[in-house]
């Protein structure tokens, strides 16, 4: 301990340099783990409606990347979005509804009784082709395809 104090007195520039390198190292670690520092890639919203298609096109995602998607219900009916297989193959960081952040262990569906928006922030994990849809429907316009590579 005494040697460390003596070294700081003898070589203050070396001590300052080591301290700055340590701080820079912490910043690099935080940057590398910065998936949750606002860097989510925004996807086109899903639209829950009795008249509008759920999605405009398939979603092509990359495993390990951080995404956010809005699910917007227009209030034209009591509608849900189901996709347990998709939700089991992503890691959900949070679901945001009316500025309330929910951090679930998992989801199987979301249901809207009225108009509103829910935002899901997630990391795509397992590669594959996954479908989310309005439960009870079979039409292609009432489903969205997520391709994770």
Domain ranges of the chain: 2-32, 41-148
| CATH superfamily of the 41-148 domain | Cupredoxins -  blue copper proteins (2.60.40.420)
DSSP-assigned letter for residue 52: S
Cα 137 from Cα 130, distance rounded (Å): 16
pLDDT per position in the chain (149 positions), as tens? 555 555 555 555 554 555 455 555 544 444 444 455 558 999 999 999 999 999 999 999 999 999 999 999 999 999 999 999 999 999 999 999 999 999 999 899 999 999 999 999 999 999 999 999 999 998 899 999 999 99
What pLDDT score was predicted for residue 28? Answer: 43
Cα 122 from Cα 132, distance rounded (Å): 15
Cα 146 from Cα 71, distance rounded (Å): 14
What pLDDT score was predicted for residue 82? Answer: 95
Question: Is pTM, for the whole model, over 0.75?
Answer: no
Token pair 């509608």 in the structure block, residue: 79
Half-sphere exposure in the Cβ direction for 55 (13 Å, CA): 20
Q: Where are the beta strands (DSSP E) in the chain?
A: 41-42, 46-48, 59-61, 66-73, 79-82, 90-97, 100-102, 109-112, 116-124, 128-133, 143-148
| Contacts for 91-99: CB closer than 8 Å, 24+ residues apart | 91/122, 91/123, 91/125, 92/120, 92/121, 92/122, 93/36, 93/66, 93/121, 93/122, 93/123, 94/120, 94/121, 95/119, 95/120, 95/121, 96/120, 96/121
What pLDDT score was predicted for residue 18? Answer: 55
What pLDDT score was predicted for residue 138? Answer: 87
């Amino acid at each position: 301990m005494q040697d460390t104090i003596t070294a700081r007195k003898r070589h203050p520039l070396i001590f300052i340099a080591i301290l700055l390198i340590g701080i820079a190292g912490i910043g690099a670690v935080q940057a590398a783990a910065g998936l949750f520092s606002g860097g989510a890639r925004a996807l086109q919203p899903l639209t829950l409606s009795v008249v509008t298609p759920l999605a405009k096109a398939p979603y092509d995602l990359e495993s390990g990347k951080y995404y956010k998607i809005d699910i917007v219900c227009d209030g034209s009916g009591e509608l849900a979005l189901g996709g347990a297989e998709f939700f089991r193959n992503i890691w959900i960081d949070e679901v945001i509804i009316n500025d309330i952040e929910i951090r679930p262990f998992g989801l199987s569906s979301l249901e809207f009784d009225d108009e509103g928006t829910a935002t899901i922030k997630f990391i795509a994990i397992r590669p594959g082709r996954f479908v989310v849809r309005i439960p009870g429907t079979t039409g292609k316009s009432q489903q969205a395809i997520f391709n994770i590579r």
